[in-house]
Amino acid sequence: MNFSIDSNILVALVNPKDRLNDKSSTLMETRRDNQLILCTSVLKESQTIFRNKINQIIVEIIQFLPNFQDKKVNQMEYQEKLILAFKKIKTSNPGTSNFLDLVYNEIIVFLENNDSLKLPSFLSQLAIRYAQTLYIKIEKMHPNGNVIHLNHDNLEIIKKATSETYFKDPNDERIFYELMTNLPDIKPVEFLTGDKEFAKKNR
pTM assigned to the model: 0.87
Could you read off the pLDDT of 71-101 as tens digits, one per residue?
A: 666 767 777 778 888 888 888 887 788 999 9
**Do the strands 145-148 and 189-192 form a parallel or antiparallel pair, or are they unpaired?**
unpaired
Looking at the structure of the chain, the number of domains it has is 1
Q: What is the residue-wise DSSP string for 38-50?
A: EEHHHHHHHHHHH
Structural domain range at position 118: 1-203
CA distances from 62 to 56, 84, 85 (A): 10, 12, 9
pLDDT band at 66 (very low <50, low <70, confident <90, very high): low
Burial status of residue 63 (CB atoms within 10 A of its CB: 0-12, 13-18, 19 or more)? exposed
